[in-house]
Chains A and B, each alone.
Chain A
Amino acid sequence: MSEAPVSQTFLDHSVRLAQIANPQSDIAHFDDPLPLDCGEKLATFSIAYQTYGTLNADKSNLVLVCHALTGDQHVGNVHPVTGKPGWWETMVGPGKPIDTNHYFVLCPNVIGGCMGSTGPSSTNPATGRSYGLDFPVITIADMVRAQAKLLDHLGIPVVLCVLGGSMGGMQVLEWAATYKDRVFSAVPIACAARHSSQNIAFHEVGRQAVMADPDWCQGRYLDQGTSPRKGLAVARMAAHITYLSDDALHTKFGRNLQDRDKITFGFDADFQVESYLRHQGLSFVDRFDANSYLYITRAMDYFDLAADHGDVLANAFVGTKTRFCLVSFTSDWLFPTEESREIVHALNAVAANVSFVELKTKGGHDSFLLHEPELFDTIRGFVNAAARQRGIAEPEGWLP
């Protein structure tokens, strides 16, 4: 039996580590402390961000994109570590649904992340070493509070549209609830107002896989010159299944065998789906930090917008003037349509301006990242309508 390829390295480790301290992005440093929900503060912090397009004279054309759990700020450019296209380059760019010829698009790396914003792999100013588990536990609200500071820093009072999928959608909801006057329109995609028990359970599996890897070294692996690659790869493999659907996996792989004619009566990757998952796990560890994975999954687990507002979700949106467009996908069992519908009902209860589309897809939770023309039409139409309502010239030559 050949060795399972979980120890294989695809990319030079240092390429990723370089992005922590010196990201290939714009970076904003903040010397005033960031108060956190856990009661602690980040004495200083940095946010790495990408921008696309041009900010107009009255600073009214900003579209803020919030990334998902394992995303980063590289929405529409070649990724500096993987060399692959940006994670939403089908959505953001010149002539794309979010047309950077007309809108100024900003995507910050979340705090807790590992692509240049302050996170557990950043240097702790108090010790001169990487934070590791000394990094305080952060929340979605903390991420958004840091982003608001970035907008202050850039001198942008109001966002034309804030949008994101999955954990990005959670940030969108947090933005709309906490900064009502700063959000003209909001597009939460494939998300929920609170992380479900099942989703917390999946995250716990992932975290336990990371922490069970001896190379995790109680979170001090950077000091030890190691990396819990196997644990993080397994975490990613388990999580990746939840981003797809039975239908998508069946269509893509069925029970097809990988480079062989018959099963081998062993534990090598006989099936294509196994080989695919192993590849997903391996390529993930080349671009992501294990401790960031722990912290960011925890932030999602703790997200419960209603709990922050007297257990009534509608209270989070009282008085909102924001225009909302929620999108869910029929094949998404991780953040099923019912979760979006609950948000819609809460918004209806405060008579908010809300649109809601459930799109028929096969791709599962990851549908928001895939080529889904109806998603593109929805986003393009909604963002352009928001621009029109805000008095900004919208892209020409486009009609619904």
Chain B
Amino acid sequence: MNVNVAPHGLRTANDTSRVDLLLIADMVTPGARVLDIGCGDGTLMRLLASKRGADARGIELSQAGVNNCVAQGLAVIQGDADADLVYYPDLAFDYAILSQTIQATYSPRDVLEQLLRIGKRAIVSFPNFGHWRVRTQLMFRGKMPKTHNLPDRWYDTPNIHLCTIKDFLDLCRDAGAKVERVVALNASGSKLGVSMPLFAQNLFGEQAVFLLSR
């Protein structure tokens, strides 16, 4: 296969997770050095290489994901955000990307600080626990929410540190991260208007993408 052809799995516009990746790719400047932490099967790395000509490296926890990536010629190491970021030097990358993973780390604040240390910029996306569907499920059913974005039951979810957009803004403030851009996506994957007030983004955004710097 050729890295310059359109990557696999990016065909359906309704697939919100794919929209999230396209949005991230748009935030990356051409030719950048990128570290994709929690790179899965390498979809974002391929997208970054083909759309942005990026020099993309990945970290992935699952053996299946790593094997798949390496067999495609992607530079991926088996590891995780909590343990392995400390081994990278300061400012080794233009972008350190953590896509839909921070909520599954043991120490989100430490991980965020590592991202801002090894990358000139950090891009973080996560499912927004402040979305109205999540709130209403908890409010009216009195049970831990399950949505198509958060499909697991409370006892088998890898998401141990879920947060809302507002929570994450607080963390950014506490960690001294400068928020350059925030984009919230609704359930159908469309961007919410930038003019929308924060409380509304936090209510209607099903996921959020943050572009951060020190």
Which residues of chain A have a CB within 8 Å of any CB of chain B?
323, 325, 341, 344-345, 348-351, 353-360, 374, 377-378, 380-382, 384-386, 388-389, 399-400
Whether B63 and A400, one on each chain, are in contact in the complex, defined by CB atoms closer than 8 angstroms, is no
Whether B71 and A377, one on each chain, are in contact in the complex, defined by CB atoms closer than 8 angstroms, is yes
Nearest CB of chain B from residue A327's CB, rounded to whole Å:
9
A386 vs B72: C-alpha distance in the bound complex, in angstroms? 10
Stretch at the interface among B75-83, B106-114, B135-143, B199-207: B75-83
Residues on B with C-beta less than 8 A from A382 are 70-71, 73
Specify the chain B residue showing the minimal Cβ separation from A380: B71
Nearest CB of chain B from residue A176's CB, rounded to whole Å:
15
**Contacts A349-B89, A351-B88: A378 and B67 contacting too (C-beta < 8 A)?**
yes
A4 vs B127: C-alpha distance in the bound complex, in angstroms? 68
Cβ proximity bits B26-54 to A, threshold 8 Å, 1 near / 0 not: 00000001000000000000000000000
Nearest CB of chain B from residue A24's CB, rounded to whole Å:
35
Known: A344-B87, A351-B88, A355-B74. 7 other contacts (CB 8 A): A345-B84, A355-B77, A356-B79, A357-B66, A381-B70, A382-B70, A385-B72
A4 vs B66: C-alpha distance in the bound complex, in angstroms? 48
Nearest CB of chain A from residue B81's CB, rounded to whole Å:
13
**Contacts A355-B76, A384-B73, A400-B1: A349 and B88 contacting too (C-beta < 8 A)?**
yes
- Interface membership of B175, Cβ < 8 A: no
Query: Looking at B1, B3, B78, which has the most chain A CB atoms within 10 Å of its CB?
Result: B78
Specify the chain B residue showing the minimal Cβ separation from A375: B67
Whether B77 and A344, one on each chain, are in contact in the complex, defined by CB atoms closer than 8 angstroms, is yes
Nearest CB of chain A from residue B39's CB, rounded to whole Å:
11
Residues on A with C-beta less than 8 A from B68 are 400
Nearest CB of chain B from residue A292's CB, rounded to whole Å:
35
Residues on B with C-beta less than 8 A from A378 are 67, 70-71
- Interface membership of B92, Cβ < 8 A: yes
Nearest CB of chain B from residue A384's CB, rounded to whole Å:
7
Give the contacting residue for B78; candidates A349, A357, A381, A385; CB below 8 A.
A357
Nearest CB of chain A from residue B120's CB, rounded to whole Å:
13
Nearest CB of chain B from residue A356's CB, rounded to whole Å:
4
Interface of B is mostly: mixed
Nearest CB of chain A from residue B68's CB, rounded to whole Å:
7
A355 vs B71: C-alpha distance in the bound complex, in angstroms? 10
Nearest CB of chain A from residue B146's CB, rounded to whole Å:
31
- Interface membership of B57, Cβ < 8 A: yes
Whether A356 and B1, one on each chain, are in contact in the complex, defined by CB atoms closer than 8 angstroms, is no
Query: Looking at B73, B74, B76, which has the most chain A CB atoms within 10 Å of its CB?
Result: B73
A381 vs B3: C-alpha distance in the bound complex, in angstroms? 13
Specify the chain A residue showing the minimal Cβ separation from B71: A381
A218 vs B158: C-alpha distance in the bound complex, in angstroms? 62
A267 vs B121: C-alpha distance in the bound complex, in angstroms? 69
Nearest 5 interchain pairs by C-beta: A385-B73, A381-B71, A356-B77, A345-B87, A400-B72
Query: Looking at A344, A355, A389, which has the most chain B CB atoms within 10 Å of its CB?
Result: A355
A310 vs B77: C-alpha distance in the bound complex, in angstroms? 26
Residues on B with C-beta less than 8 A from A399 are 1
**Contacts A348-B87, A349-B87: A354 and B67 contacting too (C-beta < 8 A)?**
no
Residues on B with C-beta less than 8 A from A325 are 70
Nearest CB of chain B from residue A372's CB, rounded to whole Å:
11
A386 vs B70: C-alpha distance in the bound complex, in angstroms? 11
A325 vs B57: C-alpha distance in the bound complex, in angstroms? 12
A350 vs B77: C-alpha distance in the bound complex, in angstroms? 15
Whether B63 and A358, one on each chain, are in contact in the complex, defined by CB atoms closer than 8 angstroms, is yes
Query: Looking at B1, B3, B71, B72, which has the most chain A CB atoms within 10 Å of its CB?
Result: B71
Give the contacting residue for A351; candidates B78, B79, B92; CB below 8 A.
B92
Nearest CB of chain A from residue B41's CB, rounded to whole Å:
10
Give the contacting residue for A360; candidates B55, B57, B63, B79; CB below 8 A.
B63
Nearest CB of chain B from residue A379's CB, rounded to whole Å:
9
A186 vs B5: C-alpha distance in the bound complex, in angstroms? 26
Query: Looking at A348, A381, A385, which has the most chain B CB atoms within 10 Å of its CB?
Result: A348
Query: Looking at B67, B70, B92, which has the most chain A CB atoms within 10 Å of its CB?
Result: B70
Nearest CB of chain A from residue B88's CB, rounded to whole Å:
5
A355 vs B75: C-alpha distance in the bound complex, in angstroms? 5
**Contacts A348-B88, A358-B63: A389 and B73 contacting too (C-beta < 8 A)?**
yes
Residues on B with C-beta less than 8 A from A377 are 67, 71
Nearest CB of chain A from residue B42's CB, rounded to whole Å:
10
Nearest CB of chain A from residue B180's CB, rounded to whole Å:
23
Cβ proximity bits B86-101 to A, threshold 8 Å, 1 near / 0 not: 0111001100000000
A159 vs B76: C-alpha distance in the bound complex, in angstroms? 22
Residues on B with C-beta less than 8 A from A350 are 89
Residues on A with C-beta less than 8 A from B73 are 381-382, 384-386, 388-389
Residues on B with C-beta less than 8 A from A386 are 73
